[in-house]
Structure 1
């Protein structure tokens, strides 16, 4: 439940356009093929392809076909790559990027567990530069919190909140985020009841966040399926 929040408490957004949606599709196409069919939607900002906390150890034709179906409908697929807050060997990160390109034809990237402090900038500059050189047109950094503003120069989208809906009301943005294009910021909110969806969406807009993923799923992996209100979320 959203603590001390109601639709009346959230100012009306200045822009009537719905948010763009990033889908962390952390579920296998052969297990939930119907869900993969639903994410074949060009309106989505991107679908994150996560084979096995990365590209896996060998090509998986089921994931390759799922990627091809999304691409055929003009959708965008981004490779899930974990950088472990800058502690993971950069060579392993670059190897993951190469496997995604060779096995799945995916060049765009969703970097997970990205550092937020200035000490991580050099690391992210290196791996992002390699991704760009290899053709990445979309680079997403999942910090899960508000990072140093210098990261905005490296990525196209920064995930500046990831957490349960109960923590969302208190996650006030720093002033610098209110001066940029809202399409540069994304929030991932889980455990959100259907009746709270519009409230959370409006609050995200007030916080100048134009890319979202909101789900009523929770638990250890809230991204192992789609929210019950997926069509409402995508339709804005």
Structure 2
């Protein structure tokens, strides 16, 4: 999961005036949470319950037993998927695409070829549905995704193909690509949702989406993930910025690397985030973003 850049352009109106376009604004937003915590007991079970209680503002959660579906069926995950689905949350299963080997990443079997990665990805998709489809699994979250088209669209075609495979074999599946950075516009049809930002609050305050995201009429195409957001005030500002930047899905947390997705924020922080996402009542997006709180730092991945 990675991080980002970008900028806006000017438009010429029919009257001949040139103006800078207002940022696309998401009029309705939902929380979409990487739920990388074990529902089998302890804090993890409590976090899953809190997600369920926060529907419908929480619309998506990502289950991740072990950087994928794991090696066998797990009853605690079956129960969590079913309870979330009954609450109206779409639980999607984590699948690592390893950039399809284009960066030298190896599969679990030690191979780097695109064909080996494709076979592993499709196998993980099928395992997710074989084990949890009957409990209400709603789709797949493809992590470690490329964000550039590739020569002759070679890279984006790989992601389009696995999204198509998922939908053809598992009717109604929601697909998400996570490059963790702005994807080129060629990815607009590669998955239902794209994670266009994944990084720290410190970097998010000065980040800008690419023009094609800002100009999109469909905020539900875009998801922003912001971690290392230390205070509630920072979180409120991040929520407001995400709305201003046209993200239909977001999640903001005070958790940090190496795994910022293995907890939920404390109750007061979480309740405030849920309320502000549901109502759009964040800090004034017209104000300049405040500087990061003391101690905040950009420790984002590559």
| Length-normalised TM-score, structure 1 | 0.89
Deviations 1:134-185 (A, max 9, x none): 2243111111111110111121111110011111122211211111112211
The residue number in structure 2 matching 1:126 is 161
The residue number in structure 2 matching 1:92 is 120
Match of 1:118, SS state, is coil
Residue 231 of structure 1: how far off its partner (Å): 2.1
The residue number in structure 1 matching 2:130 is 102
Residue 129 of structure 1: how far off its partner (Å): 0.7
The residue number in structure 2 matching 1:7 is none
Structure having the higher Rg: 2
How many Å separate the matches in 1 of 2:71 and 2:24? Answer: 47
The residue number in structure 1 matching 2:12 is none
1:185 equivalent in alignment to 2:222: yes
Moved over 2 A (4+): 12-19
The residue number in structure 2 matching 1:33 is 45
How many Å separate the matches in 2 of 1:85 and 1:171? Answer: 24
Contact 2:27 2:243 (8 Å CA) reproduced? no
The residue number in structure 2 matching 1:5 is none
Contact 1:108 1:135 (8 Å CA) reproduced? no
How many Å separate the matches in 2 of 1:59 and 1:130? Answer: 22
Using a 3 Å threshold, how does the CA distance of structure 1 residues 97 and 53 change in structure 2: closer, same or farther?
same
The residue number in structure 1 matching 2:142 is 111
Contact 2:23 2:215 (8 Å CA) reproduced? no
| Farther-moved stretch of structure 1 (12-21 vs 80-89) | 12-21
Contact 2:58 2:89 (8 Å CA) reproduced? yes
How many Å separate the matches in 2 of 1:55 and 1:139? Answer: 15
| Length-normalised TM-score, structure 2 | 0.70
Give the number of equivalent residue pairs. 225
Contact 1:101 1:107 (8 Å CA) reproduced? no
Residue 219 of structure 1: how far off its partner (Å): 2.5
**Which one of the candidate residues 29, 41, 50 is aligned to 1:19?**
29
**Which one of the candidate residues 264, 268, 286 is aligned to 1:226?**
264
How many Å separate the matches in 2 of 1:47 and 1:210? Answer: 14
The residue number in structure 1 matching 2:186 is 150
Deviations 1:82-118 (A, max 9, x none): 1012225101000001111010112411111110111
How many Å separate the matches in 1 of 2:272 and 2:148? Answer: 35
How many Å separate the matches in 2 of 1:175 and 1:74? Answer: 32
| Farther-moved stretch of structure 1 (221-230 vs 94-103) | 221-230
RMSD over aligned Cα, in angstroms?
A: 1.9
The residue number in structure 2 matching 1:8 is none
| Farther-moved stretch of structure 1 (136-145 vs 20-29) | 136-145
The residue number in structure 2 matching 1:62 is 76
